[in-house]
Amino acid sequence: MSKGAHLGAKVRVIRRRQGMTQKQLAELLGISGSYLNLIEHGRRPLPSDLLIKLVTKFQLDLKELGADEDARMVADLLEALSDPIFDEHELNSADVRELVGAHPSMANALLTLYRGYKDSHESAENMALQLLNSADPASEGKGRSRRSASHERSYPPPEEVNDLVRRHNNHFPGLEEGAAKVRRDCRLETTDRYPSMVRYLSQTHGIAVNVVPLGANQGAVRRFDPQRRQLTLSELLPPRSRHFQVAHQIGLLTQSDAMDQVANDRQLTSESSRKLARVVMANYFAGAVLMPYDAVLEAARTTRYDIELLGHRFRTSYEQVCHRLTTLRRPGAEGVPWHFVRVDIAGNISKRFSGSGIRFPRFSGACPRWNVHSAFLTPGNDRVQVERMTDGSTYFCVAKTVRKDGGGYLGSRALHAIGMGCEIQYAKEIVYADGMDLENLQTAVPVGTACRICERMDCEQRAFPPLQSALEVDENARGLSFYAPVQSD
């Protein structure tokens, strides 16, 4: 498909989103309706002056018209269509690219439909589990808990907020400026920031901060009572987490306008998405308060992105440092563009951000060859790896497990693995790459996004047949995996 056809389809999507007819948009752009019709159907290119008018009139982000957005939608749609329910339809990547290029709204609708199917399928499974548990009194509480969690779960909001963060490249100048102002107002110093922030809340906002024993906060590690003007923190929180939660609350109190400006994005389609976006923005603000942009960028460059050392310097956790490193994208003062992923021991992805350009799966499990999974084999140790994707892009990655603080001897502690990575060209700037042969890419570990959309047939860890190839079974021969073909004699 030509570039003109690609942009023409995007113009049609934008016009329909605005609820305009071709005649109305043509008049707004100062062209004839017939000319606009030709542009929308890819028969005429979109001139640069009309592109500028579109962006200006509707306050568009140029990224919405870029090929990168199409590539992301193609990847997401390919992953969705890799579900076994589509096996009989013999779909391929060329069909998907053509659909996304010519009919992006249709492609997006198909993604929305698939998300709804996945949500309904899981709800049905939970309902069946509830019916089974109802026959077993000992399981009644577990069934009720699962049902409640399923009822409260909302699949679209996390995805919408993830996309929002990605569109902003995980950098929010308004919150950076707000954090710098709060640091000045608090007279915040790294050595005594907790009492400084507590004093600021008391003197400026009339809010008292108290640390309460386990069980006194109804299970919350942070709870703010606006009527009593009281912020309570659980004793379970170590100092670095108390600092973060106090800074988070200051963000909610002082950065409402900046947060609303982000959360009112038209692509956040529900109140749940907007509330979640505010929480994410408050977390961003807390990181910016505890780790000032210029200071953390200089320290990152000086230490060559030694995450543990940066945590000691700024008195923050490993995960907090990783998050902050992904936000260093100020034009003219940029750090290494990182991707970030957090997985649990079952392989579920609970957080992700692709600053490096790597593709993360949305609907299925990630490739088992990613080193973030192998981090669980050596808890607490750094795992480094050079990974090469099926499209030839190569990344340097470091992973490590982190354990959440628990509630004493009887309390459980969640174990996660944090994965960070960047394009191979930045690896020399990173201490974890010392001693590795970065020039010999033949030693890179071949990885994919997810099994069903990965083209590598020689993978011993393949769990499903690929979307692009028909399943071939030979009862007399076995390959590296059940789905890996073998050569005939």
pLDDT reported for residue 124: 64
Examine the pLDDT at 13 and tell me if it is beyond 60.
Answer: yes
For domain 154-290, which CATH number applies: 2.40.128, 1.10.10, 1.10.287, 1.10.3470?
Answer: 1.10.10
Highest mean pLDDT among 20-29, 320-329, 471-480: 320-329
The DSSP code sequence of 418-474 is: EEEEEEGGGGGGSGGGTT---S-GGGSEE--S-GGG---SS-TT--S--TTS-----
The overall average pLDDT reported for the chain is: 83
Token digits of residue 286: 């807390």
d(CA 387, CA 357): 13
β-strand partners of 397: 385, 421
With cut-offs at 50, 70 and 90, classify the pLDDT of residue 131: low
Q: What is the mean pLDDT of residues 206-219?
A: 89
List the beta strands (DSSP E) in 165-229. Answer: 208-212, 222-225
With cut-offs at 50, 70 and 90, classify the pLDDT of residue 123: low
Strands 339-344 and 349-354: antiparallel
pLDDT reported for residue 475: 72
pLDDT reported for residue 79: 75
Examine the pLDDT at 128 and tell me if it is beyond 60.
Answer: no
Contacts of 167 (CB under 8 A, 6+ apart): 61, 63, 267
Examine the pLDDT at 149 and tell me if it is beyond 50.
Answer: no
Do 486 and 478 touch, CB atoms closer than 8 A? yes
d(CA 395, CA 372): 13
Dihedral sign for Cα 342, 346, 347, 351, please: negative
Do 382 and 418 touch, CB atoms closer than 8 A? no
pLDDT reported for residue 143: 42
Q: Describe the strand order of the beta sheet including 230-234 as a list of residue ranges.
A: 208-212, 230-234, 222-225
β-strand partners of 402: 416
Question: Nearest 5°: phi and psi at 175?
Answer: -75, -30
Q: What is the mean pLDDT of residues 359-383?
A: 89
User: Which residue type occupies 93?
Assistant: S
Do 439 and 411 touch, CB atoms closer than 8 A? no
Examine the pLDDT at 384 and tell me if it is beyond 60.
Answer: yes
Tokens 């073998």 correspond to what residue?
A: 486
Which of 294, 211, 203, 296 has its CA nearest to residue 246? 211
Dihedral sign for Cα 458, 461, 466, 468, please: negative
Domain chopping of the chain, boundaries:
154-290, 330-453, 462-489
pLDDT reported for residue 78: 75
Which of 444, 448, 488, 446 has its CA nearest to residue 468? 448
d(CA 51, CA 29): 10
Token digits of residue 386: 């050079």
With cut-offs at 50, 70 and 90, classify the pLDDT of residue 64: low
β-strand partners of 403: 415
Q: Describe the strand order of the beta sheet including 339-344 as a list of residue ranges.
A: 349-354, 339-344, 415-423, 394-403, 383-388, 445-446
Examine the pLDDT at 62 and tell me if it is beyond 90.
Answer: no
For domain 330-453, which CATH number applies: 3.30.450, 2.40.50, 1.10.287, 1.20.1050?
Answer: 3.30.450
Q: What is the mean pLDDT of residues 410-415?
A: 81
Do 20 and 63 touch, CB atoms closer than 8 A? no
Which of 462, 300, 305, 301 has its CA nearest to residue 384? 305
d(CA 126, CA 153): 12
Domain 154-290 shares a fold with domain 330-453 = no
With cut-offs at 50, 70 and 90, classify the pLDDT of residue 153: very low
Which of 374, 382, 417 has its CA nearest to residue 398? 382
